[in-house]
């Protein structure tokens, strides 16, 4: 099984990051099981990634944090505080199966539509994007616009 650390991007934004009570469990290159190219440290920092005909990312949403549970690598329920001793991949799979997590496949058209939503509904954030001066709240607004077409989580 692919190591989650090789494929997933986790932000430090307290709204976005699920580990801090946010809505986004992870952002994956193409899908959870696809190994990103080894051209540099971050796959998403290369324009050719977005220009590719097969552009796709998978975003995992924490859809029901009350139903979310941590699991060990053997599939046993983990009672550790904040997932201590839990396995990220097994936890992801089991919570996707239960509906506590939800997968969203994002294509280039979703990025364009999300950018239009930001321009219309969040002009300040759009200005930050155009000035290449984004911060975590701006990135979260953009990501939610891409995934949901609106700001679902405040």
Q: Which residue ranges make up each domain of the chain? A: 4-106, 108-148
Q: Nearest Cα to 144, choosing from 126, 123, 118?
A: 118
CA end-to-end distance (rounded Å), the chain: 34
| Whether 151 contacts 141, CB under 8 Å | yes
The runs of H, that is alpha helices, within the chain are 4-7, 47-51, 88-98, 108-121, 123-130, 136-148
Lowest mean pLDDT across 5-14, 96-105, 125-134? 5-14
Structure tokens at 52: 């590719």
Instruction: Give the other-Cβ count within 10 Å of 77's Cβ.
Output: 10
User: Closest Cα to residue 122, out of 146, 148, 147, 150?
Assistant: 150
* pLDDT reported for residue 3: 36
pLDDT of residue 20: 52
147: pLDDT strictly greater than 50:
yes
122 pLDDT more than 60 = yes
What pLDDT is stored for residue 30 in this prediction?
A: 87
């Amino acid at each position: 099984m692919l190591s989650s650390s090789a494929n997933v991007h986790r932000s430090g934004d307290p709204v976005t990051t699920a580990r801090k009570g946010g809505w986004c469990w992870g952002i994956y290159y193409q899908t959870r099981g696809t190994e990103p190219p080894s051209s540099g440290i971050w796959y998403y920092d290369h324009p050719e990634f977005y220009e590719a005909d097969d552009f796709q990312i998978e975003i995992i949403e924490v859809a029901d944090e009350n139903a979310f549970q941590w699991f060990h690598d053997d599939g046993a329920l983990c009672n550790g505080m904040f997932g201590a001793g839990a396995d990220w991949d097994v936890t992801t799979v089991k919570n996707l199966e239960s509906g506590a997590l939800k997968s969203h496949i994002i294509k280039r058209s979703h990025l364009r539509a999300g950018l239009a939503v930001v321009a219309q509904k969040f002009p300040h954030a759009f200005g930050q994007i155009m000035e290449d001066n984004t911060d975590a709240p701006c990135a979260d607004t953009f990501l939610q616009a891409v995934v949901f077409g609106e700001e679902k989580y405040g």
